[in-house]
């Protein structure tokens, strides 16, 4: 557990993704920001009991976006605590099983080991219809957090939000960027601090990714907690984010670089065609080869079984006859 700023506690789930316990300012009241991967509820409940008091519950759960590593335990926690889940209206199609996110782009330039594993992620969508409510779109103050404002930072997820507290310039940046090298799975697991692009294979609109980073850099945060990576505090927070904004370039190539996916209140309106992915093709060939082998083995077994049924008694026990009728030994 790490304190990002006054009343803001970061819990790292499996050294991979963070959730935040944010005190509202009213004693004993707090809000949970994000819920980690599926199956994280026990760790989150235990942390809440430790930070606040046993049996404590938040006023609400706010999701920065609906990706599996942020919304994964939302249903279990909402059921356990009997609290609402709040998200930007543009995330609702993905949180009410009406749509799946644009497919990941494993071919994106510089996607690193995250891009490799992204090939094997299932399509992402959750069914939280009974719990999820939209954030009021014209009100920049998130419910229960009067000292904070939310900012719409799309590009990585259509309704992704960041949270900012002006009084001490604390920024919860979601996956608008990361505080570790998110493209390198080992760097994420080692929690090496570095302000970087987040989740490149999942970024479906690179212009918006750049705009979101510039918007957040302009806030000059003094403390940063993102979805992935350790908290960064002090001058390096604003410096690192300013540098990322200055050096941001769209990737050299990738599915969504020239033509972004288009999304709307119903989900995904357009995705560009998938580029050729030599690694996926190799896996497909290997998979087809394996399938052919398994199929051949199955056919062989079936053929042998049928043969046995045609000749129920073992042939070796009987003298064999050649076609000409002569006995063979
Ligand atoms: Zn994400
Ligand atoms: Zn994430």
% of the chain beyond a pLDDT of 70: 85
Q: pLDDT at position 272, please?
A: 96
CA of 112 to the centre of ligand 2 (A): 15
State yes or no: pLDDT of 49 exceeds 50. Answer: yes
pTM for this prediction? 0.85
C-alpha 179 – ligand 1 centre gap (Å) = 13
Q: Per-residue pLDDT for 172 more than 50?
A: yes
In degrees and rounded to multiples of 5, residue 270 shows phi and psi of -160, 135
For residue 286, the CA-to-ligand 2 centroid distance in Å is 30
- Which ligand has the nearest atom to the CA of 188? 2
Q: What's the burial of 161, exposed, middle or buried (CB within 10 Å: 0-12/13-18/19+)?
A: buried
- 132 vs 181, more confident: 132
Kind and range of the H or E run holding 151: strand 148-152
Mean pLDDT for the stretch of residues 147-171: 98
Q: Tell me what pLDDT residue 287 has.
A: 53
Sign of the torsion formed by the C-alpha atoms of 183, 185, 187 and 189:
positive
Distance 23 CA to ligand 2 centre (A): 22
Span 91-120, average pLDDT? 91
Answer for the pair 231, 223: CB distance below 8 angstroms, yes or no.
yes
Find the helix or strand (DSSP H, E) in which 10 lies. strand 8-13
* CATH number, domain 2-275: 3.60.15.10
d(Cα 312, Cα 1) in Å, to the nearest integer?
Answer: 69
- CA–CA separation, 206 vs 208, rounded Å? 5
Which residues touch 247 (CB under 8 Å, ≥6 apart)? none
Task: Supply the mean pLDDT for the chain.
Answer: 88
Q: How confident is the model at residue 319 (pLDDT cuts 50, 70, 90)?
A: very low
Give the distance (Å) from ligand 2 centre to CA of residue 156.
9
pLDDT in the model for residue 286 = 57
Between CA 172 and CA 161 the distance in angstroms is: 9
């Amino acid at each position: 557990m790490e304190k990002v700023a006054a009343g803001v506690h970061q819990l790292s789930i499996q050294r991979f993704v963070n959730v935040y316990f944010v005190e509202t300012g009213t004693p004993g009241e707090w809000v949970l920001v994000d819920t980690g991967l599926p199956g994280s509820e026990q760790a989150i409940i235990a942390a809440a009991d430790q930070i606040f008091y046993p049996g404590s519950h938040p006023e609400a759960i706010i999701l920065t976006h609906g990706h599996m590593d942020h919304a994964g335990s939302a249903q279990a926690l909402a059921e356990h605590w009997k609290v609402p889940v709040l998200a930007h209206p543009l995330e609702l199609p993905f949180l009410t099983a009406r749509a799946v996110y644009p497919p990941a782009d494993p071919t994106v330039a510089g996607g690193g080991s995250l891009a490799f594993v992204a090939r094997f992620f299932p399509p992402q969508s959750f069914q939280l219809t009974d719990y999820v409510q939209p954030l009021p779109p014209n009100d920049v103050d998130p419910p229960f957090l009067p000292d904070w404002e939310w900012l719409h930072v799309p590009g990585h997820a259509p309704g992704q939000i960041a949270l900012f507290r002006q009084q001490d310039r604390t920024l919860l940046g979601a996956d608008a960027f990361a505080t570790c090298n998110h493209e390198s799975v080992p760097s994420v697991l080692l929690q090496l601090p570095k302000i970087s692009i987040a989740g490149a294979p999942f970024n479906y609109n690179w212009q918006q990714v750049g705009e979101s980073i510039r918007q957040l850099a302009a806030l000059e945060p003094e403390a940063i907690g993102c979805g992935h990576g350790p908290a960064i505090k002090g001058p390096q927070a604003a410096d690192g984010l300013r540098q990322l904004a200055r050096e941001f370039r769209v990737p050299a190539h990738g599915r969504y670089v020239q033509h972004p996916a288009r999304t709307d209140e119903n989900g995904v309106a357009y995705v560009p065609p998938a580029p050729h992915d030599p690694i996926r093709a190799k896996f497909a060939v290997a998979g087809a080869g394996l399938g052919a082998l398994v199929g051949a083995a199955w056919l062989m077994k079936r053929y042998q079984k049928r043969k046995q049924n045609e000749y129920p008694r073992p042939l070796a026990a009987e003298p064999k006859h050649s076609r000409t009728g002569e006995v063979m030994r």
